[in-house]
Amino acid sequence: MAIGNRLKIAICGKSGLVGSKLEELFTSQHNDVIGVKIRDNTSIEEVVAQIEKCDILINLSGTTILAPWSESYKKTLYSSRIETTKKLVEAIGVCKERPKLFLSASAVGIYESNIAHDDNSKNYADDFLSALCRDWEAEAKKAEAFDVRVVQMRFGVVFSKEGGAMDKIVPPFKMGVGGELGSGEQMVSWIHIDDLLRAILFITKTPDISGSVNFTSPYPLSNKEQTDILGKVLHRPTFFRVPAFVIKLIFGEGSRVVLDSKEVYPSKLLESGFVFEYDKFEPALREIVG
């Protein structure tokens, strides 16, 4: 399946950062892009009507992970991912003309902290975020039963001009109160939005790629290294360390997103011939703030 032909691409979560940028990319290549809307009361028949005859189905559903995790918010995090993915897969099974490729989001939060991982690692963390990602991926994988190629996209921290991590990270630096988070030793696996989009496009043209794929730069770095680069590029001081207990007070269990160490490498993409445009953090950041 080559992107050269006009394709119908259905995106669930089209209004978010990645979804809106994907729509721009695919429409610029003369493809038809539609948004898939799924709510609690959306029937399977309604989902089928939206995705029937699409060539590629992309699932980016889910409320933001970077928020305080109350018990009720954890239920929202779970249902917005797992229940939506269940409906998509069930609808795929009902379709007369099914998508050839199902790309479904996940995250590097699936992995255990403090050890290095490639795409084949089965060293998963024993916490809520990892369990969420595992259940999310397991639901997506069920589409393989309908002869659909499934790719679970394990996103690292996404950096973009239009939002993502920059919305949270840059304001304190601009106010002169930026600094390391917690110990600063935790590894950050990140990706520039342009490379994320290019990797998705690459996968659509590379039929051998399936299963879990790490969407991260080949060069993860520590929070301290990241902070030093942010200070250098933004010309701001970086001595206001934010202690771990303060982050835990604000985000509760959700603080794991910024305090856990995730060292993740994109082996499948590299071995398949994908070339990162922004593999190092400083050039990526300069492009974004430039």
Question: In the numeric block, which tokens belong to residue 280?
Answer: 């190092």
Q: Burial level of 28, CB count in 10 A (0-12/13-18/19+)?
A: exposed
The reported pLDDT for the residue numbered 47 is: 97
* Residue 70 resides in a domain: yes
The reported pLDDT for the residue numbered 2 is: 43
Summarised one tens digit per residue, pLDDT across range 157-171 is 999 998 888 888 888
Q: Which residues of the chain register pLDDT less than 70?
A: 1-4
* Residue 165 resides in a domain: yes
* Residue 233 resides in a domain: no
CATH at residue 148:
3.40.50.720
* Residue 139 resides in a domain: yes
The reported pLDDT for the residue numbered 1 is: 43
Its domain, for residue 78, covers 8-223+249-289
The reported pLDDT for the residue numbered 218 is: 98
Q: Helices 193-204 and 17-28 meet at what angle, rounded to 10?
A: 50
Which pTM was predicted?
A: 0.95
The structural domain count of the chain equals 1
* Residue 62 resides in a domain: yes
The reported pLDDT for the residue numbered 285 is: 95
Find tokens 């993915």 and name the residue.
Answer: 85
The reported pLDDT for the residue numbered 3 is: 43
